[in-house]
Protein backbone atom coordinates (compact mmCIF):
# COMPACT_ATOMS: atom_id res chain seq x y z
CA UNK A 1 0.00 0.00 0.00
CA UNK A 2 2.87 2.37 0.83
CA UNK A 3 4.54 1.71 -2.50
CA UNK A 4 1.24 2.35 -4.34
CA UNK A 5 0.79 5.68 -2.56
CA UNK A 6 4.35 6.59 -3.41
CA UNK A 7 3.79 5.90 -7.08
CA UNK A 8 0.60 7.97 -7.07
CA UNK A 9 2.42 10.87 -5.44
CA UNK A 10 5.41 10.35 -7.78
CA UNK A 11 7.71 9.57 -4.94
CA UNK A 12 10.97 7.94 -5.74
CA UNK A 13 12.24 4.62 -4.42
CA UNK A 14 13.96 6.44 -1.56
CA UNK A 15 10.65 7.91 -0.42
CA UNK A 16 8.93 4.57 -0.69
CA UNK A 17 11.75 2.85 1.15
CA UNK A 18 11.65 5.49 3.86
CA UNK A 19 7.87 5.10 4.12
CA UNK A 20 8.23 1.32 4.29
CA UNK A 21 10.90 1.58 6.99
CA UNK A 22 8.63 3.90 8.96
CA UNK A 23 5.80 1.43 8.59
CA UNK A 24 8.05 -1.48 9.68
CA UNK A 25 9.18 0.41 12.77
CA UNK A 26 12.85 0.88 11.70
CA UNK A 27 14.10 4.35 12.66
CA UNK A 28 15.31 6.15 9.44
CA UNK A 29 18.00 8.75 9.31
CA UNK A 30 16.77 12.24 10.12
CA UNK A 31 16.83 14.53 7.00
CA UNK A 32 19.31 17.32 7.19
CA UNK A 33 16.73 19.95 6.11
CA UNK A 34 14.39 19.24 9.02
CA UNK A 35 16.18 21.53 11.39
CA UNK A 36 17.16 24.06 8.66
CA UNK A 37 13.65 24.34 7.18
CA UNK A 38 13.00 27.86 5.83
CA UNK A 39 9.31 28.52 5.58
CA UNK A 40 9.38 31.74 3.47
CA UNK A 41 11.61 30.19 0.85
CA UNK A 42 9.42 27.12 0.80
CA UNK A 43 6.30 29.26 0.25
CA UNK A 44 8.01 31.16 -2.61
CA UNK A 45 9.06 27.91 -4.18
CA UNK A 46 5.47 26.72 -4.17
CA UNK A 47 4.40 29.66 -6.36
CA UNK A 48 5.71 27.97 -9.49
CA UNK A 49 3.32 25.00 -9.09
CA UNK A 50 -0.18 24.74 -10.26
CA UNK A 51 -3.21 23.80 -8.26
CA UNK A 52 -3.01 20.14 -9.16
CA UNK A 53 0.66 19.95 -8.26
CA UNK A 54 0.04 21.80 -5.01
CA UNK A 55 -2.72 19.30 -4.20
CA UNK A 56 -0.31 16.48 -4.83
CA UNK A 57 2.28 18.18 -2.65
CA UNK A 58 -0.30 18.60 0.12
CA UNK A 59 -1.30 14.96 -0.13
CA UNK A 60 2.37 13.98 -0.13
CA UNK A 61 3.10 16.13 2.90
CA UNK A 62 0.04 14.79 4.70
CA UNK A 63 1.11 11.25 3.93
CA UNK A 64 4.62 11.98 5.17
CA UNK A 65 3.18 13.60 8.29
CA UNK A 66 0.97 10.55 8.79
CA UNK A 67 3.92 8.19 8.33
CA UNK A 68 6.03 10.34 10.67
CA UNK A 69 3.23 10.25 13.22
CA UNK A 70 3.00 6.46 12.91
CA UNK A 71 6.77 6.20 13.24
CA UNK A 72 6.63 8.53 16.26
CA UNK A 73 3.92 6.44 17.86
CA UNK A 74 5.87 3.27 17.13
CA UNK A 75 9.06 4.83 18.49
CA UNK A 76 7.18 6.05 21.54
CA UNK A 77 5.80 2.56 22.06
CA UNK A 78 9.29 1.06 21.64
CA UNK A 79 10.71 3.66 24.01
CA UNK A 80 7.87 3.01 26.43
CA UNK A 81 8.45 -0.73 26.14
CA UNK A 82 12.19 -0.26 26.70
CA UNK A 83 11.51 2.19 29.54
CA UNK A 84 9.03 -0.20 31.08
CA UNK A 85 11.48 -3.06 30.62
CA UNK A 86 14.29 -1.02 32.18
CA UNK A 87 11.94 0.13 34.93
CA UNK A 88 10.80 -3.44 35.48
CA UNK A 89 14.41 -4.59 35.56
CA UNK A 90 15.31 -1.78 37.94
CA UNK A 91 12.29 -2.48 40.09
CA UNK A 92 13.06 -6.20 39.93
CA UNK A 93 16.66 -5.52 40.91
CA UNK A 94 15.57 -3.14 43.66
CA UNK A 95 12.93 -5.63 44.81
CA UNK A 96 15.47 -8.46 44.67
CA UNK A 97 17.96 -6.33 46.63
CA UNK A 98 15.30 -5.36 49.13
CA UNK A 99 14.12 -8.97 49.42
CA UNK A 100 17.72 -10.12 49.73
CA UNK A 101 18.33 -7.61 52.51
CA UNK A 102 15.05 -8.60 54.18
CA UNK A 103 16.03 -12.26 53.78
CA UNK A 104 19.42 -11.56 55.33
CA UNK A 105 17.74 -9.57 58.11
CA UNK A 106 15.26 -12.39 58.68
CA UNK A 107 18.09 -14.92 58.63
CA UNK A 108 20.04 -12.85 61.16
CA UNK A 109 16.89 -12.47 63.23
CA UNK A 110 16.29 -16.22 63.00
CA UNK A 111 19.86 -16.93 64.09
CA UNK A 112 19.57 -14.38 66.88
CA UNK A 113 16.26 -15.82 68.04
CA UNK A 114 17.68 -19.33 67.78
CA UNK A 115 20.68 -18.29 69.89
CA UNK A 116 18.39 -16.64 72.43
CA UNK A 117 16.14 -19.69 72.41
CA UNK A 118 19.14 -21.97 72.99
CA UNK A 119 20.35 -19.69 75.79
CA UNK A 120 16.87 -19.63 77.33
CA UNK A 121 16.66 -23.42 77.05
CA UNK A 122 20.01 -23.72 78.82
CA UNK A 123 18.85 -21.34 81.55
CA UNK A 124 15.56 -23.23 81.86
CA UNK A 125 17.47 -26.51 82.12
CA UNK A 126 19.75 -25.03 84.80
CA UNK A 127 16.78 -23.64 86.70
CA UNK A 128 15.00 -27.00 86.45
CA UNK A 129 18.11 -28.69 87.87
CA UNK A 130 18.26 -26.12 90.67
CA UNK A 131 14.54 -26.54 91.36
CA UNK A 132 14.93 -30.34 91.40
CA UNK A 133 17.85 -30.10 93.82
CA UNK A 134 15.88 -27.67 95.99
CA UNK A 135 12.89 -30.03 95.90
CA UNK A 136 15.10 -32.94 96.94
CA UNK A 137 16.58 -30.82 99.74
CA UNK A 138 13.08 -29.75 100.82
CA UNK A 139 11.96 -33.39 100.88
CA UNK A 140 15.07 -34.32 102.88
CA UNK A 141 14.46 -31.43 105.27
CA UNK A 142 10.84 -32.49 105.62
CA UNK A 143 12.03 -36.00 106.52
CA UNK A 144 14.41 -34.53 109.10
CA UNK A 145 11.60 -32.33 110.44
CA UNK A 146 9.30 -35.35 110.68
CA UNK A 147 11.98 -37.20 112.63
CA UNK A 148 12.48 -34.18 114.87
CA UNK A 149 8.72 -33.92 115.40
CA UNK A 150 8.61 -37.61 116.34
CA UNK A 151 11.57 -37.09 118.70
CA UNK A 152 9.93 -34.01 120.20
CA UNK A 153 6.67 -35.91 120.69
CA UNK A 154 8.52 -38.77 122.37
CA UNK A 155 10.49 -36.29 124.50
CA UNK A 156 7.27 -34.53 125.44
CA UNK A 157 5.79 -37.87 126.48
CA UNK A 158 8.92 -38.61 128.52
CA UNK A 159 8.79 -35.16 130.07
CA UNK A 160 5.13 -35.65 131.01
CA UNK A 161 5.96 -39.05 132.49
CA UNK A 162 8.96 -37.60 134.34
CA UNK A 163 6.87 -34.72 135.63
CA UNK A 164 4.33 -37.24 136.88
CA UNK A 165 7.10 -39.25 138.50
CA UNK A 166 8.58 -36.07 140.02
CA UNK A 167 5.23 -35.14 141.47
CA UNK A 168 4.86 -38.67 142.84
CA UNK A 169 8.41 -38.55 144.20
CA UNK A 170 7.65 -35.23 145.85
CA UNK A 171 4.65 -36.79 147.49
CA UNK A 172 6.73 -39.80 148.54
CA UNK A 173 9.53 -37.53 149.81
CA UNK A 174 7.07 -35.50 151.82
CA UNK A 175 5.64 -38.69 153.28
CA UNK A 176 9.14 -40.00 154.02
CA UNK A 177 10.15 -36.66 155.51
CA UNK A 178 7.10 -36.78 157.72
CA UNK A 179 7.95 -40.37 158.64
CA UNK A 180 11.58 -39.42 159.33
CA UNK A 181 10.49 -36.50 161.43
CA UNK A 182 8.15 -38.75 163.30
CA UNK A 183 10.86 -41.40 163.74
CA UNK A 184 13.38 -38.77 164.84
CA UNK A 185 10.88 -37.47 167.34
CA UNK A 186 10.20 -40.98 168.57
CA UNK A 187 13.94 -41.70 168.68
CA UNK A 188 14.51 -38.56 170.69
CA UNK A 189 11.79 -39.55 173.07
CA UNK A 190 13.21 -43.09 173.30
CA UNK A 191 16.69 -41.65 173.86
CA UNK A 192 15.44 -39.46 176.67
CA UNK A 193 13.58 -42.43 178.17
CA UNK A 194 16.66 -44.61 177.84
CA UNK A 195 18.88 -41.97 179.46
CA UNK A 196 16.49 -41.58 182.36
CA UNK A 197 16.24 -45.37 182.73
CA UNK A 198 20.04 -45.68 182.50
CA UNK A 199 20.52 -43.13 185.23
CA UNK A 200 17.97 -44.88 187.38
CA UNK A 201 19.63 -48.24 186.73
CA UNK A 202 23.07 -46.82 187.52
CA UNK A 203 21.74 -45.18 190.66
CA UNK A 204 19.96 -48.36 191.76
CA UNK A 205 23.04 -50.43 190.92
CA UNK A 206 25.21 -48.14 193.01
CA UNK A 207 22.72 -48.32 195.90
CA UNK A 208 22.56 -52.11 195.66
CA UNK A 209 26.37 -52.34 195.54
CA UNK A 210 26.65 -50.11 198.51
CA UNK A 211 24.12 -52.18 200.46
CA UNK A 212 25.92 -55.33 199.32
CA UNK A 213 29.26 -53.93 200.59
CA UNK A 214 27.64 -53.13 203.92
CA UNK A 215 26.20 -56.64 204.18
CA UNK A 216 29.56 -58.20 203.37
CA UNK A 217 31.28 -55.91 205.87
CA UNK A 218 29.22 -57.37 208.69
CA UNK A 219 30.75 -60.71 207.80
CA UNK A 220 34.21 -59.25 207.41
CA UNK A 221 34.32 -59.68 203.63
CA UNK A 222 34.53 -57.37 200.63
CA UNK A 223 32.81 -57.59 197.27
CA UNK A 224 34.85 -58.47 194.19
CA UNK A 225 35.89 -55.40 192.15
CA UNK A 226 33.46 -54.21 189.50
CA UNK A 227 34.66 -54.86 185.91
CA UNK A 228 36.34 -51.76 184.49
CA UNK A 229 34.66 -52.00 181.09
CA UNK A 230 31.23 -52.34 182.64
CA UNK A 231 32.00 -49.38 184.87
CA UNK A 232 33.00 -47.25 181.84
CA UNK A 233 29.84 -48.27 179.98
CA UNK A 234 27.74 -47.40 182.97
CA UNK A 235 29.60 -44.07 183.29
CA UNK A 236 28.91 -43.29 179.61
Query: What digits encode the pLDDT tens for the residues 39-98?
Result: 677 777 777 788 888 888 888 889 888 888 888 888 888 888 888 888 888 888 888 888
DSSP states of 149-204: HHHHHHHHHHHHHHHHHHHHHHHHHHHHHHHHHHHHHHHHHHHHHHHHHHHHHHHH
| Chain-centroid distance, C-alpha 9 | 95
- The answer, yes or no, to whether residue 131 has pLDDT greater than 90, is yes
pLDDT band at 230 (very low <50, low <70, confident <90, very high): low
| Element of type H or E holding 127 | helix 51-218
Burial class of residue 6 (count of CB atoms within 10 Å of its CB; 0-12, 13-18, 19+): buried
Helices (H), ranges, 39-50:
39-45
**Contact indicator for 29, 14 with CB cutoff of 8 Å:** no
User: Average pLDDT of 159-175?
Assistant: 90
pLDDT band at 1 (very low <50, low <70, confident <90, very high): very low
Amino acid sequence: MVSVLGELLELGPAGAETSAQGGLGVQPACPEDVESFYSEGFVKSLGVYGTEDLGRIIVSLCLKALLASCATVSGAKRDETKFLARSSDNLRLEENGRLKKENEALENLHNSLKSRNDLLNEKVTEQEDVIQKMQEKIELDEGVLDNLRGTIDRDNTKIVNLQTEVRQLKVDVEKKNELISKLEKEDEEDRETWVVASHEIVAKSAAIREEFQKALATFGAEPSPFPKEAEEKLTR
